[in-house]
Structure formats: C-alpha cells, structure tokens
Amino acid sequence: MAVVDLRSDTVTRPTRAMRQAMADAEVGDDVYGEDPTVRALEDSVAELIGTEAALFVPTGTMANQIALKANTKPGDEVIIGKDAHLWRHESGALAALAGAQTQMLPDHRFTAAEVKAAFKSDSDPYVSPTRIVAVENTHNMAGGIVWDRAQLAEVTSAAHALGMITHLDGARLWNAAVATGAPEKELAAGFDTVSVCLSKGLGAPAGSLVCGPRDVIRRCHRLRKMHGGGMRQAGILAAAGVHALAHHRARLHEDHANARALAEALAGAKNLAVDLSRVHTNIVMIDVLHGTADAVIGVAREDGVLLGAAGPHRIRAVTHLDVDRDGVLRAARVIAEIATSFG
C-alpha cells in the first residue's frame, strides 16, 4: 500500500512535466547575472508580490535571513510572533548571521497595540533598538493559520509610524492568497521585504525568493554571495519554480479541502482533539489527549502513514500535491484507530 506522507508539504517530488521544464530550461551563469530563466522567475515573482525586485535564493531560510540582515545592524531587535519560523527553525541564524535579537510577542498573530508597546527607540542607549517587525503568513507552527487583512494593515502601519521596517515570511503566502481570495500582492502590501518559497505547497524541488525595493535587493544580492548562495546554472531550478507558479498555485485549494477532510474525520475521534476553527489552509494540528505524539507517530509509520510532531502531545499533518483525498482519509482512519487504542 502506498505511503501517505503528511510530514510536510516539502516532501513532494517534481512531476514529470516539471522535470521536463527543468531539462528544457535555458540557462547561463547566474553569478554573472546571465541566467535568463532565473531573471524571468525573479521578474514574475516581483510582479506577483508587488515589489520592485526579487532575488532567487536556494531556501526560505536564506530568503528570510538575508532580508533581515540587509535591514539590521548587530544588536538591533526584531519583533516576532510566537514560534516564528525565522526564530525557532532557522538554526539560530538571526543571532549568528545578523547578530540581531528577537522580542517574541505572546501569540502567533499580534496587534498594532502590542507592536507599539514592544517598540524600543534607539534614543535610549540601554536598550536594543527595535528595527523590524516580522510577520509569518500563513503561520506554520500555529497550524497554517491566515492573518486577518485589517489586522495586518494595522500592524504594518503602526510599525512604519514608529520608523520600523516590516518583513513578511511568506513561505506559504500562496496558501494564504488562496484561502482568503486576496491576491498575493494585496497580502504583501505594507511589507518592505517579503520571502516566498517555491518548494512547499508549490512542489518545486528547491528555491525561494526575497522580494523588496531595488536597493534592498541589491544588498541581499551581496549577502546571498557572502552566505554561499550564489548558484551558477540555477535556471534548472528556476524553471521548476516557473512551472510551479503556472501549474500548482491555483490547485492549492485542493490541499486545503483535503486538510479540512482530515481534520473533520479526526475531530470526533476518541482521544484526539482538533480545533476546526484553526484549519485555514493545508496544515492540521492534532492533539493527543492520552499518550504522546511520538508514540502515535511511531505506530502510524508502521501502517504507512508519516506524520510530524509539533510538541509532546501535538501531531502536525500537512497536505500537498502528492497526497489525494483517499490518502488523507486512510491516514485519518489509521490515526483514529491508534489513538483509540491509547485512550
């Protein structure tokens, strides 16, 4: 029986058509600025996000970290929401590479009032001056939840009024756009820099972009080289991104419907809790009431269902291009059966 891999939307394998597009890509040396496919991808993503420029980088981590480094000095502070990926899951890069510190607000999504209260001005030599407010949309560790647009606008204008810079970790901005019906550029409005990933729901094997004003992207270009991210015939990878944007963006609603089907199938199951009001996109958080997440995950693996732990009693399941409705319903049956036996 086929394995149902719900560990992440990063586990997808390039489709045959994507591989063909990669094989056919026109390429050049991108460190010399000579790769036409990379250029085309950068131009089209800048257009989609509504920024002056965009830069192709290998990973979402690099996109976030060079954008943050480009706009901070060592000792500066970045305001983040709870469990922001750029703090929790990027190997300490913000501290190691930018030398910035973080101030984490209590919730994943936060308000303009919280930003104003957290802000510290550089007029006080005792404090770390707050330079950047970083938002994650959708928010991974919160279960793929989407920000309210009015709240986003309030946060970004409060930050700008205080002279701060705004950064959007939009690794899954595509999912937020599909879930809200608002185009990506509307969700990115108000942000000075934006990172987006091609290797999550869009199904490309690698690649992210950092988007922003031309002068900031020029600084990011240097930082990409400094951090070892200057790739040569990168058009092979960029072609996968071009293909993903053309063919896999509009279908993300299928992943969202599959996530909802999984969540609904598990919501009433014995020994499990799923908050359906927080299933906005392609991620489902499943709480195990008796027993640990790892114990359930271990048994599910033997039954061909792969899941990730998001805490000692919390399982994270992510839908994507390589799982269909039958797959998620089989996963739901397996998870419910295991949880019942633990309950």
Q: Which residues bind ligand PLP (CB under 6 A)?
A: 59-61, 64, 85, 136, 140, 169, 171, 197, 199, 208
Nearest-approach distance from CB 85 to ligand PLP, in angstroms: 4
Nearest-approach distance from CB 265 to ligand PLP, in angstroms: 24
Q: Which is nearer to ligand PLP, 188 or 339 (CB)?
A: 188
Cα–Cα distance, 171 to 198 (Å, whole number): 8
Q: Which is nearer to ligand PLP, 62 or 265 (CB)?
A: 62
| Residue 144, both tokens | 């793929």
User: Going along 186-292, which residue ranges are E strands?
Assistant: 193-197, 208-212, 272-273, 283-288
Angle at 74 between CA 72 and CA 80, to 5 degrees: 55
Nearest-approach distance from CB 200 to ligand PLP, in angstroms: 6
Given strand 101-104, what is the order of strands in its sheet?
53-57, 208-212, 193-197, 165-170, 130-136, 77-80, 101-104
Of 11, 126, 15, 146, the residue nearest 75 (C-alpha)? 126
Cα–Cα distance, 265 to 267 (Å, whole number): 6
C-alpha atoms less than 13 angstroms from C-alpha of 192 in its C-beta half-sphere: 21
Question: Which residues, other chains included, contact 25 with Cβ-Cβ below 8 Å and sequence gap of 6+?
Answer: 37, 235, 236, 238, 239
Q: Which is nearer to ligand PLP, 135 or 272 (CB)?
A: 135
Q: Which is nearer to ligand PLP, 142 or 263 (CB)?
A: 142
Given strand 308-311, what is the order of strands in its sheet?
272-273, 283-288, 314-318, 308-311
Nearest-approach distance from CB 39 to ligand PLP, in angstroms: 21
Nearest-approach distance from CB 217 to ligand PLP, in angstroms: 18
Q: Which is nearer to ligand PLP, 210 or 286 (CB)?
A: 210
Q: Which is nearer to ligand PLP, 167 or 330 (CB)?
A: 167
Nearest-approach distance from CB 269 to ligand PLP, in angstroms: 27
End-to-end CA distance of the chain: 27
Q: Which is nearer to ligand PLP, 159 or 204 (CB)?
A: 204
Question: Which residues, other chains included, contact 334 with Cβ-Cβ below 8 Å and sequence gap of 6+?
Answer: 300, 303, 304, 305
Q: Which is nearer to ligand PLP, 194 or 339 (CB)?
A: 194
Whose CB is nearest to ligand PLP?
A: 60
How far is residue 26 CA from its own chain's centroid? Answer: 28
Nearest-approach distance from CB 303 to ligand PLP, in angstroms: 25
Nearest-approach distance from CB 210 to ligand PLP, in angstroms: 11
